[in-house]
Amino acid sequence: MKKRRRKPIKRLNNAMKKRTIFACAFIALLFVILIGRLVYFSIFKNNIYKRQVLSQQNYSSETLPYKRGDILDRDGNTLATSQKMYTLILEPKNILRSEKIQQETIKALHKYMKLDEDKLLKFIKKHKNSYYSVYRDELSYSDIADFKDFIASDKADNVSGIVFSEKYKRRYPNQSLASQVIGFVSDGTIGTGGIEQYYNSTLSGVNGRKYKYLNEELEQDSSIVEPENGKTVVSTIDSNIQKLAEDQLAKFEKKYGSKGSSILVMNPNNGEIYAMANSTSYNLESPRDDKNLLKKYSQSEVNNMSEKQKTEAFNEIWKNPIVSNAFEPGSTYKPFTVAAGLEEGILKGNETYYCDGYQKVGPHIIHCSHRNGHGLITLSQSISLSCNDALMQIAEKEGKNVFAKYQRNFNFGKKTGIDLPGEAQTASLLHDAKDMTAADLATSSFGQSFNCSMIQMASAFSSLINGGYYYKPHVVKQLRSSTGEVVSNVEPTMVKQTVSKETSDKLKKYMKETVESGTGTKAKMKDYTAGGKTGTAQKIPRSAGTYIVSFCGFAPAENPQVLVYVVIDEIQKESQTNTGLAVEVAKNVLKGSLKELNVPKSNIEIFSS
Q: What is the pLDDT of residue 187?
A: 83
**What contacts 7, CB < 8 A, 6 or more positions away?**
none
Please state, rounded to an integer, the average pLDDT across all residues of the chain.
Answer: 91
Q: What is the pLDDT of residue 46?
A: 59
- Pairwise CA distance, residues 594 & 592, whole Å: 6
**What contacts 475, CB < 8 A, 6 or more positions away?**
181, 195, 235, 236, 237, 273, 276, 418, 419, 420
Query: Mean pLDDT, to the nearest integer, of 239-266?
Result: 97
- Pairwise CA distance, residues 183 & 190, whole Å: 11
Confidence of residue 52 (pLDDT cuts 50, 70, 90): low
At 555-609, the pLDDT tens digits run 999 999 999 999 999 999 999 999 999 999 999 999 999 999 999 998 765 444 4
Residue 118 amino acid letter: D
Q: Which helix (H) or strand (E) holds 136?
A: strand 133-139
At 126-177, the pLDDT tens digits run 998 888 899 999 899 999 999 999 988 888 888 888 888 888 999 999 999 9
Q: What is the pLDDT of residue 5?
A: 58
Q: Where are the alpha helices (DSSP H) in 385-453?
A: 388-398, 400-409, 438-444
Q: What is the pLDDT of residue 428?
A: 85
Q: What is the pLDDT of residue 607?
A: 46
218 has pLDDT over 60: no
3 class by beta-carbon count within 10 Å (0-12 exposed, 13-18 middle, 19+ buried): exposed
Q: What is the pLDDT of residue 11?
A: 60
- CATH code given to domain 60-82+164-211+220-235: 3.90.1310.10
Query: Mean pLDDT, to the nearest integer, of 220-233?
Result: 86
Domain boundaries, the chain: 60-82+164-211+220-235, 333-608
Confidence of residue 211 (pLDDT cuts 50, 70, 90): confident
At 346-388, the pLDDT tens digits run 999 999 999 999 999 999 999 998 889 999 999 999 999 999 9
Q: Where are the alpha helices (DSSP H) in 204-333?
A: 239-255, 299-303, 307-318, 321-324
Q: Pick the range with the lowest mean pLDDT from 383-397, 426-440, 583-597.
A: 426-440
95 has pLDDT over 80: yes
Measured torsion, CA atoms of residues 151, 156, 162, 165, in degrees rounded to the nearest 10: 10
Superfamily of domain covering 333-608: DD-peptidase/beta-lactamase superfamily (3.40.710.10)
Whole-model pTM: value is 0.85
- Pairwise CA distance, residues 323 & 418, whole Å: 8
Can you say whether the dihedral through the CA atoms of 118, 119, 122, 127 is positive or negative? Answer: negative
At 99-109, the pLDDT tens digits run 999 999 999 99
At 507-564, the pLDDT tens digits run 999 999 999 999 999 999 999 999 999 999 999 999 899 999 999 999 999 999 999 9
Cβ atoms of residues 540 and 548 within 8 Å:
no
54 has pLDDT over 50: no
Instruction: DSSP for 314-338, please give it.
Output: HHHHHS-HHHH--B--GGGGHHHHH
At 3-32, the pLDDT tens digits run 555 555 556 566 666 777 777 777 877 877
Can you say whether the dihedral through the CA atoms of 471, 472, 477, 480 is positive or negative? Answer: negative
Q: What is the pLDDT of residue 609?
A: 43
- Pairwise CA distance, residues 295 & 279, whole Å: 7
Q: What is the pLDDT of residue 315?
A: 94
Q: What is the pLDDT of residue 34?
A: 79
Cβ atoms of residues 555 and 529 within 8 Å:
yes
98 has pLDDT over 50: yes
Can you say whether the dihedral through the CA atoms of 191, 192, 196, 202 is positive or negative? Answer: positive
Q: What is the pLDDT of residue 97?
A: 87
**What contacts 473, CB < 8 A, 6 or more positions away?**
266, 271, 272, 273, 416, 417, 418, 455, 458, 459
Q: Calculate what percentage of the chain has a pLDDT beyond 90.
A: 77
Q: What is the pLDDT of residue 32?
A: 78
Q: Which helix (H) or strand (E) holds 384?
A: helix 379-384
Burial 32-63 (b: 16+ CB within 10 A, else e): eeeeeeeeeeeeeeeeeeeeeebeeeeeeeee
- Pairwise CA distance, residues 325 & 191, whole Å: 21
- Pairwise CA distance, residues 496 & 493, whole Å: 9
Residue 518 amino acid letter: G
Q: Calculate what percentage of the chain has a pLDDT beyond 70.
A: 91
- Pairwise CA distance, residues 246 & 589, whole Å: 10
